[in-house]
Amino acid sequence: MKVNDILAGAVLLLLSIAILAYTRTLPNIPGQNIGPAAFPGLLAAILLGCSVALMARGWRARRAGPWVARMEWTRHFDQVRNFGLVCASLFFYSHFSEKLGYFICAFAVLGSLLASLRVRPALVVPLALGITLFIHTLFYKLLRVPLPWGLLERFAW
Amino acid sequence: MDMLFSPHYVKAFFLVMDPYVLTVIFCSAVYGLFVGCIPGLTATLATALLVPITFFMPPVPAVAAIVTASAMAIFSSDIPGALLRIPGTPASAAYVDEAYALTRKGQPELALGAGLVFSVIGGLFGTLVMMAFAPTLADVALEFSSFEYFWLVCLGLAGAVFIGNASVLKAGISLVIGLLVACIGNENPAAYPRFSFGSSELAGGVDLIPMVVGMFAISEILRFVTSLEAPLHVAATKIGNVFGGMWKLTKKYKWPIVRGSALGTIIGIQPGSGPDMAAWMSYAMSKKFSKEPEKFGTGHVEGIIEAGASNNSSLAGAWIPAIVFGIPGDSITAIGISVLYLKGMNPGPTIFLKTPENIYAVFLVFVLANLIMLPLGWLAIKAATKVLLVPRRILMPTILLFCVVGAYAVNNTVFGIVLILVFGVLAYFMEEHGFPVAPAILGVVLGKMMEENFVNSMIKANGNPMAFFERPISAFLGVATLIILLWPVGAWLWKSKHAFR
């Protein structure tokens, strides 16, 4: 989904108004007439000015293109699936890695992505396994990052 | 010459010659060459992906890894430029057509050899300038107060917005978004938890590593998986002797080499402009001053020589304001600066007083990185036709998992992974809508420094904004910043007045 400058400016305008409203709730530094609200308040005011300018620019060029346009790739199922899968992979890993463990999550993420990117089916499982082990060795063994074992706790090495 | 034999340099020399540091330099060189060589993987991405690894290293090897990988990636991005007509990073875009034309003429070794040899010369030139001027500049900077620092940050950010962006307005918005992200958390003058909405993770602020990884790596992965482009085609399979004829070229084009190196260094020092801008300007300058301008675009090596020297020299140049003032000029140096902060080597003039050997070690790493670029770059060119064909369908999922684990490794919490998702998607949509990402990164890196100096100055000045112009250097910097900021308004008024007539 691609929006024109008028709509992008409107979103930024709302954001800047929300930030300005929020900064009014912040207290001052005791004994000073300046506080944590000053800097974000100033930035929000600049953002407000910029978003109005963006909307004005978009308005002048409103006939040049549609207000909302589909990105070309959204017409292709493969690309939409890939995009969704990357986002879903990150969501899945962040929510389930503590419970299921690194190995299961990493293998699932890699396997599904490799398959979705049309890597030869016979290669998907060995590649996913190999890359999972490689990253595990690098971070868990060499850099000592405590990657969670989760369900495979019994097999920890 | 005395400078090189100072006790600090001797200490620094032994710091760099440590086998661990040398191994890190070698590995990051190979890594930088590999990543830079793959189309679609930029030098910034190479640097960003390294940050989680440097997290676990002592200061000198950590910075060495960043410096080496970025220099190598900028050179090796010439390889896909010459063989595929796809610049590995934007820094090679200026002369990609020229290099590809040489390949089509059956001379890929000339394009690649010139890229390699003159990158090394440019890189060494920029490094020598940095070694000569950074300590002197630091002496001057010791006199600076919060007023001067505030204006310096403004000047740096104004440069980032006004130089080399298609839309100044959108670059400005991107910068403000970055500065607002830096406001999240309780690291502010009042230590009040801002924009954290009760989340303990947000109260700690947004870590730069997940943000950088998200904005550069995840967004790149999203672009790859949604791309509709056809598979790549390598134009040459056989590459001859890359060093053949280089001495002759050096003698023939000695002035373009010096001009490219000098211009690149100056552009690097200038905040907001990095290697890509340096390459474009040097290529244009080379054509303007050339005795054979008509040959440009037909596979003429002169432009490649000057611009190739320029983009690598700008990399060292960009580190001068980064080290001396803590103000990076482009996204690669911004990432480098964040590593300096992570390692407790807080950039600024006092770094030359507190831990001079560490910073001199960084200078020596620049020299070493440029020297080993010759043999390793030669190997990379030899292996290029194979590396270019590494299937990105396998590489991208690997990078994704690397990002996930790298983001987790920062605090050993999954919050980092949520951040890379959010910033990755944000950066993807920002770029699709014409908002450049680099100003946002600079905003996040410089946000805290800017706010601290702004609030401190306001408290010192008792709320009087004119105090920002009372000290001479501060007044000069302030006026310079205002001129840059008001330039577009002035130009617009001038244009509309003339249009009216």
Closest by Cβ to B455, choosing from A19, A39, A57: A39
Tally the domains of chain B: 1
Put simply, the answer to whether B421 touches A94 (Cβ < 8 Å) is yes
**Contact between B302 and B286 (Cβ < 8 Å):** yes
Put simply, the answer to whether B177 touches A47 (Cβ < 8 Å) is yes
Per domain, the residue ranges of chain A are: 2-69, 73-155
Kindly state the average pLDDT of the residues B365-381. 92
What pLDDT, on a 0 to 100 scale, did the predictor assign at position B1?
A: 47
Kindly state the average pLDDT of the residues B441-468. 87
Length of chain A measured in residues: 157
Distance (Å, whole) CA B403 – CA B410: 11
Distance (Å, whole) CA A56 – CA A50: 10
* Lowest mean per-residue pLDDT among B126-140, B263-277, B457-471: B263-277
Distance (Å, whole) CA B308 – CA B479: 35
B11 contact partners, CB below 8 Å, separation of at least 6: B357, B360
Using the 8-state DSSP alphabet, how is residue A68 labeled? E
Contacts with A85 from chain B: Cβ below 8 Å? 225
Q: What is the tens place of the pLDDT at every residue in A136-156?
A: 998 898 888 899 999 998 888
Kindly state the average pLDDT of the residues B343-352. 85
CA–CA–CA angle B257, B259, B260 (5° rounding):
65
Q: How far is CA B250 from CA A127, B305, B310, B377, in A?
A: 46, 9, 15, 18
Q: Average pLDDT over chain B, rounded to whole?
A: 86
Q: What value does the CA radius of gyration of chain A take, rounded to a whole number of Å?
A: 24
Q: Is B191 exposed, middle or buried (0-12, 13-18, 19+ CB in 10 A)?
A: exposed
What pLDDT, on a 0 to 100 scale, did the predictor assign at position A27?
A: 82
**Contact between B159 and B334 (Cβ < 8 Å):** no
Note whether A137 contacts B: Cβ–Cβ < 8 A.
no
CA–CA–CA angle B38, B212, A45 (5° rounding):
135
Distance (Å, whole) CA B32 – CA A134: 19
% of chain B beyond a pLDDT of 90: 30
pTM: 0.85
Distance (Å, whole) CA B78 – CA B322: 26
Q: What is the tens place of the pLDDT at every residue in B20-29?
A: 999 999 999 9
SS3 A2: strand
Distance (Å, whole) CA A110 – CA B382: 31
B284 contact partners, CB below 8 Å, separation of at least 6: none
Q: How far is CA B92 from CA A87, A140, B78, B86, B112, in A?
A: 31, 36, 6, 9, 12
What pLDDT, on a 0 to 100 scale, did the predictor assign at position B397?
A: 94
Quick one: pLDDT band at residue A133, thresholds 50, 70, 90? Answer: very high
Put simply, the answer to whether A57 touches B451 (Cβ < 8 Å) is no
pLDDT at B383 over 90: no
Take residue B412 and report the two structure tokens written for it: 């050993």
Q: What is the tens place of the pLDDT at every residue in A85-123?
A: 999 999 999 999 999 999 999 999 999 999 999 999 999
Put simply, the answer to whether B401 touches A110 (Cβ < 8 Å) is yes
10 Å Cβ neighbour count for B251?
A: 8
10 Å Cβ neighbour count for B416?
A: 28
Residues of A numbered 84-113 whose beta carbons fall under 8 angstroms of chain B's beta carbons: which are they?
A: 85-87, 89-91, 93-95, 97-98, 102, 106, 109-110, 113
Range of the domain at B313: 2-500
